[in-house]
Amino acid sequence: MKRRSFLVTSVAAVAMPYVARANDEAIRLRDFYARGGGLSELALELEGKPVRVEGFMAPPLKADSTFFVLTKQPMSVCPFCETEADWPDNIMAVYTQRKFRVVAFNRKIETSGILSLGAFRDPDTGFLSMVRIEDARFETA
């Protein structure tokens, strides 16, 4: 094996778990956050790439919305955050391309779309998100 082939193979082997995880396996909500706050290395590496995440749809903040909050556990009320400092590490905003039918808060769903990071305040609701899936689709798990 030549040196160049070895280097290419080695780099591919190191990167493969992240590619496989992003495309084949749903990522847990907590994996987007680092211990002690902030975003994880995995989240930073997957920014702008397709991801799949399992969780529960919190009740939308308003009817006929194009976004909802994905939570780790079923919640009968939506967790609304006032500041970036208050953002919990077990939720994620999900933005769809069109209005959607609400799923019962206790039914697990799998959401897929493009990962987006950083503070964003929704202009219609004022909802602040730090971690989002955009152009999302979802189905019951």
Which sequence spans correspond to the domains of the chain?
3-140
Rounded to two decimals, the pTM is: 0.74
Asked if 52 and 28 count as a contact pair (C-beta separation under 8 A), the reply is no
Give 114's pLDDT tier (boundaries 50, 70, 90): very high
Phi-psi region of 7 (alpha: psi -120 to 50; beta: other; left: phi over 0): alpha
Beta strand residue intervals within the chain, DSSP E? 50-57, 67-71, 91-96, 108-121, 128-140
pLDDT at residue 53, rounded to an integer: 96
Phi, psi of 70 (to 5 degrees): -95, 130
**pLDDT surpassing 80 at residue 37:** no
| Residue 64 and residue 104 in contact, taking contact as beta carbons nearer than 8 Å | no
Q: What was the pLDDT predicted at 17? A: 43
**3-140 belongs to which CATH class?**
mainly beta
In 3-state terms, what secondary structure has residue 117?
strand
Q: What is the pLDDT of residue 105?
A: 87
CA gyration radius for the chain?
17
